[in-house]
Amino acid sequence: MDLQKLLKIVAIVIGVISIFFLGRILSAGDEAIKAGESSGIVNVFMYVSYAVLLIALLIVLSFTVLNLVSNTSGFKNTLIGIGAFVVLSLLCYFGFANGVEAPLKDGDMLSANGSKLIGAGLYLFYFLALIAGGIMLGFGIKKMIK
């Protein structure tokens, strides 16, 4: 049995277990969870979901590192992509975002730094969406010309 089939079986098993856990949480009901009557069940399921997330992240990270080490040209392209992302992130934070203290709905205050981080994240999202749209449009036009 090869690795791909094994991973597919593991993914199916995790999916079935997740559906079971979701059913248990939904059967407890919102009111019971808010009242704290079923907090033990929810906490256990949350820890299980954190463990599954950690395992999934470790598997993805290990396959990514193995792939990058075995493929040097891919490693170079990955570093270029990460560098471009970091430069764009820094440009959005230091060049475009403004930090202003703002009141929140619960009465707390959002700090100027927090406001600047949120603004930088929004600008970064807009720039990445524009870049992706431009690339798709460019390839679409190139394909139409062919």
| Helical spans, DSSP H, in 71-146 | 72-91, 112-145
| Cα radius of gyration (the chain) | 23
Kindly report, residue by residue over 46-81, the tens digit of the pLDDT. Answer: 788 788 889 888 988 888 888 878 887 778 888 899
Give the per-residue pLDDT at 142. Answer: 93
Q: Residue 102 belongs to what H/E stretch?
A: strand 102-103
Element spanning 61, H or E: helix 39-70
User: Strand, coil or helix: what is 104?
Assistant: coil
Query: Can you give the residue ranges of every domain in the chain?
Result: 1-70, 72-146
- Tell me the pTM: 0.59
The C-alpha atoms of residue 85 and residue 99 are separated, in whole angstroms, by 22
Mean pLDDT in residue range 2-6: 80
